[in-house]
Amino acid sequence: MATRAEIVAEAARWEGVPFRHQGRGRTGVDCVGLGRCVGEALGLIGDYDVTNYRRNADGADLLRDLRAHMGREKPVNQAEPGDVLVFRDRVFTIHVGIVIESAPRLQIIHAYAPARMVTRCWPDRVRDAQGV
């Protein structure tokens, strides 16, 4: 099992990679792709069936794998570096990011479409997030 420091370090290696919707590699990733690629690189989750994305674009497969290999969900105020934040709009996952710095100033790394790349940020809507 990878340590939290290894997860953060692997996520940081993706910083600057271009954003690409449904991307799953160094030429471009979306938020789910970043989570999958970091998890796969560290042996935390298995290979991803890219054809399944169109059938399950809500991130359900990523969440299932994360729960199986990384543990339980917890409130965002308990999120630690290496955890995955899951942002939801009602019941659907709309975004994910990897925590790289915890409270009091939570910081994540994520594939962010408006920035057109993987970048760091301090999420302002953490009330809508859950940590995994």
The verdict on pTM exceeding 0.85 is no
Q: Which of 45, 44, 54 is nearest to 22 (CA)?
A: 54
Is pLDDT at 53 greater than 80 in this prediction? no
User: Parallel, antiparallel, or unpaired for β 92-101 and 107-112?
Assistant: antiparallel
Q: Omega before 104 cis (within 30°)? A: yes
Evaluate if residue 75 carries a pLDDT over 70. yes
Distance CA 77, CA 103 (A): 7
Local confidence band at 104 (pLDDT 50, 70, 90 cut-offs) = confident
Element housing 103 (H / E): none
pLDDT at 101 over 60: yes
The predicted pLDDT at position 84 comes to: 86
| Residue 126: predicted pLDDT | 47
